[in-house]
Amino acid sequence: MSPNTAPRLELYVGPMFSAKTERLIAELKRATYANKRLLVLKPARDTRTDAFIASRQVDANGTVTVTETFPATVIQTREDFLRAVSSNEFDVLAIDEAQFFPLDTPIIDALGWFGREVRTLLQERRDTPLRILIAGLDTDFANEPFGPVPGLMALADRVEKLSAVCMVCGSFDAHQSQRITADSEQVSVGDADMYQARCRACFVEPL
């Protein structure tokens, strides 16, 4: 097996508004130009969009603008994922908002069903140049590891950790997602109406 035929797992991680999806879409465009076959997935728990992924920009007033979109298949369960990848007729598999795929209850490992299936797919297609591109939040609103993303970072061939602009002080080094509502659930879907990107100095630990 030549090094050029080995599959790769690449992650784009960071807080809210750090251009993770924009980065993912940029790679999908490059793959399209190279005539690669694409399969793009998104979790059903991301209810902000339907059958597409979307990059967003937020201005100083908290107004969110969708800047780019890319068609995607919505999945919810392990069975949905297996059905989507069963044909193997893709060279690039991209998944956005991977933090929304839940870990097991009780927790078995750091991967959950989604991370385990990604690991299995890499093994099954070990003699192919498959690229798996995953974008997601690495930490939640409480600055704790979020879903399967940290476990996937440990398996990845490449991790690109992005930062946002702090919405309080303007620092370019914002790595935390600050929830500005009273909701205490780990998964609560929203945009600038619920979250701000903040640097470490401006982040306030939730009570």
User: Among residues 96, 11, 19, 97, which one has the least CA distance to residue 65?
Assistant: 19
SS3 call for 5: helix
> Across-strand partners of 95?
41, 134
B/e letters for 77-107, b = 16+ CB within 10 Å, e = fewer, are eeeebeebbeeeebbbbbbbbbbbbbbeeee
Q: Is 117 a catalytic residue?
A: no
Question: Which member of 22, 27, 68, 97 is catalytic?
Answer: 97
SS3 call for 65: strand
User: For residues 137 and 15, is the Cβ–Cβ distance under 8 A?
Assistant: yes
- Eight-class DSSP state of 139: B
Residues recognised as catalytic: 97
